[in-house]
Amino acid sequence: MKVTQHTVRLVLAEPLRISRSTMAARDAVRLTLAHEGMSGHGEAVTSVFYGLDTPTLQRLVAEAAERLARFPGPETALHALRVGELTAPDTPAAVIAAVEAALLDLVGKRTATAVHRFLGSPEAPRVATARTISLTSPGRAAAHARRLADAGFSVIKIKAGDQDEQGDLDRVRAVRAAAPAARLLLDPNGAWSAGQARALLPRFAELGVEAVEQPLAPGDPEALARLAARSPLPVIADEDAVTYEDARRLAGRVHGINVKLAKCGGVHAALRIAALIEGSGTDLMLGCLTASTLGIAPAVHIAGRARWTDLDGHLLLAHDPWTGIGGSDGFVGASAQPGLGVRPRAEAAEPRAAGAAGPRDVAS
- Report the alpha-carbon angle 151-327-286, nearest 5: 120
- First and final C-alpha spacing in the chain: 6
**pLDDT given for residue 350 in this prediction:** 44
The span from the CA of 225 to the CA of 220, in Å, is: 9
For the chain, helix, strand, coil in percent to 5 are: 40, 25, 35
The span from the CA of 135 to the CA of 284, in Å, is: 25
Pair 235, 197: CB distance under 8 Å = no
Nearest residue to 104 (alpha-carbon basis) of 279, 345, 306, 269: 269
- Can you give the length of the chain in residues? 364
Residues whose CB is less than 8 angstroms from the CB of residue 110 and which lie 6 or more positions away in sequence, other chains included? 35, 36, 38, 74, 75
The span from the CA of 194 to the CA of 181, in Å, is: 30
pTM (predicted TM-score):
0.93
- Report the alpha-carbon angle 126-130-132, nearest 5: 145
Tell me the residue ranges of DSSP E strands in 155-307. 155-159, 183-187, 209-213, 235-237, 256-260, 283-287
- Report the alpha-carbon angle 23-24-28, nearest 5: 90
Q: What is the DSSP secondary-structure string of 227-257? A: HHHH-SS-EEESTT--SHHHHHHHTTTSSEE
What's the burial of 352, exposed, middle or buried (CB within 10 Å: 0-12/13-18/19+)? middle
Mapping DSSP to helix (H, G, I), strand (E, B) and coil, where does residue 209 land?
A: strand
**pLDDT given for residue 164 in this prediction:** 85
**pLDDT given for residue 240 in this prediction:** 97
Question: How far does Cα 248 stand from its chain's mean position?
Answer: 20
Q: In whole angstroms, how far apart are CA 66 and each of 70, 81, 322, 352, 362?
A: 7, 14, 26, 25, 7
Task: Give the up-direction half-sphere exposure of residue 38: CA atoms within 13 A in the CB hemisphere.
Answer: 16
Print pLDDT tens along the chain (364 aa): 899 999 999 999 999 999 988 999 999 999 999 999 999 999 999 999 899 999 999 999 999 999 999 999 999 999 999 999 999 999 999 999 999 999 999 999 999 999 999 999 999 999 999 999 999 999 999 999 999 999 999 999 999 998 889 999 999 999 999 999 999 999 999 999 999 999 999 999 999 999 999 999 999 999 999 999 999 999 999 999 999 999 999 999 999 999 999 999 999 999 999 999 999 999 999 999 999 999 999 999 999 999 999 999 999 999 999 999 999 999 999 999 999 999 999 744 444 443 344 444 444 3
